[in-house]
Amino acid sequence: MFTYLSERVDLTVLASAIGLVIIGIASVYSATYDARASEIFIRQTLFLAGGVGAAIFIAFVPFRMVQLASWPLYFFSIAMLVIVLVAGRTVSGSTSWFNFGLFRVQPSEFTKITTVLALATYLSRSDVTLNNVRELAIAGGIVGLPMALILAQPDMGTVIIYAGMFFPILYWGGASRFTLVAAIAPGAAAVAALFGTTTFLIAVVLLGVLLYITKEHRVVAAVVFSTMVMVGISVQVIYDGLKPYQQKRIATFLDPAADPLGAGYNILQSKVAIGSGGMLGKGFLHGTQTQLNFIPEQWTDFIFCVPGEEFGFLGGAAVLLLFFLLLYRGVALASTVKSSFASVVAIGITGILATHLVINVGMALGLLPVVGVPLPFLSYGGSSLVASLMMVGLLLNLYYNRKEY
């Protein structure tokens, strides 16, 4: 019986997702238990039911139908991103949601999936290679279009997720080392510039050496290097053009203690919550930072603090272990499936989940700036939860059809 089941269902993916969902729903319950926000837990439970239904449906949809529907779904999701800019609801300065009474839907969460499907369909063509400038530009355009629309909302956190998904796909799709370095260099230079001139100059030298070592054409390498330098130099101009709350988030990342009662408050309280959990934690519903509401709306971006405080190091480690198993199976699946389309989809989903994990946990630990990125399966948010479960459904579908070309 077990052998029969394991041949048809990726039990590691299924068990990891179930474990994360259980921890997530318990964490949301705890975070809202003493915050007079029980309706949040109820909504999350309803979205969980919908997400499980969507995952089961996707897991059993014929494999070829998923591929055939990729482009229509992609263009439909692009249309939704355009419509939400015009008729969407603005929350915390970002016009990202459709409002349906008690529920809100964020189309950018689902566009991540349709973008991966469209990109996989394009890259699975036998006549496409990522080392061709034209075809690389088309692939970049498939990802860049939703990124531009989401940036207009503005939602920088979600834009970063798209970038984090694209780079693994470039690597997996056979892009050369030079292409990968060229794609990463401008962003790396921009981040380095935030830390000061010295850090920026060191980054420029190191990236310049990498470009020289991997160069395929001197002129192209020179253009990439010049672009990288110009992007780094223009960081201050771009920073001055950001909204005040965005500037505060960056400044808080560089020095959380500079504004301990303002922009740095959540980060400092998050670190206190996780650190106070010790090895075994304070017990379910007994986390002082959680139950006394020291972290505003902890059930969203800072949900990782709940298992970290209430179940200590072991609780946080359990969450990370479950994510590791899920990501490991995603990469393993990308390596074993016969279809090139399925392979790119698996690595794209893995890239999305991994980027979410790194950024969200990095935010909670004060290692990364607060950019409003939820932790999949755990953070409150119906669109995020349903989209995460849909990605699990896709992985299960790919596993079941792993021998198809």
Give 200-223 pLDDT, tens digit per residue.
888 888 888 888 888 777 887 888
121 or 136: which carries more pLDDT confidence? 121
What mean pLDDT value characterizes the chain? Answer: 84
pLDDT value, residue 226:
87
Residue 160 placed within a domain: yes
Helices (H), 255-381: 265-276, 288-291, 305-310, 312-336, 340-364
Residue 289 placed within a domain: yes
pLDDT value, residue 96:
83
Residue 155 placed within a domain: yes
Q: What's the N-to-C CA distance of the chain in angstroms?
A: 27
Residue 345 placed within a domain: yes
Number of domains into which the chain is organized: 1
Q: What percent of the chain has pLDDT over 90?
A: 37
pLDDT in tens, 47-89: 999 999 999 999 999 888 999 999 999 999 999 999 998 887 8
Give me the residue label for tokens 């990605």: 391
Residue 233 placed within a domain: no
Q: What is the rounded distance in angstroms from the CA atom of residue 240 to the CA atom of residue 27?
A: 38
Which range in 148-162, 193-207, 320-334 is most confidently predicted, on average pLDDT? 320-334
CA 55 to chain centre: 18
| 120: pLDDT strictly greater than 90 | yes
pLDDT value, residue 160:
86
pLDDT in tens, 383-405: 999 999 999 999 999 999 888 87
pLDDT in tens, 237-295: 766 666 676 666 666 555 555 555 555 667 777 777 787 778 888 888 777 776 666 66
pTM above 0.85, yes or no: yes
Residue 219 placed within a domain: no
Label residue 331 exposed, middle or buried (CB < 10 Å: 0-12, 13-18, 19+).
middle
CA distance to 6, 7, 9, 222, 401, per residue, from 1 (Å) = 9, 10, 12, 60, 19
Please compute the mean of the pLDDT values over residues 140-157 and round it to a whole number: 87
Q: Which of 135, 134, 131, 77 is nearest to 106 (CA)?
A: 77
Q: What is the rounded distance in angstroms from the CA atom of residue 90 to the CA atom of residue 82?
A: 14
Residue 395 placed within a domain: yes
CA 338 to chain centre: 26
pLDDT value, residue 238:
67
Q: For residue 382, what are the domain limits?
A: 2-171+256-400
Please compute the mean of the pLDDT values over residues 25-39 and round it to a whole number: 81
pLDDT value, residue 112:
95
Residue 199 placed within a domain: no
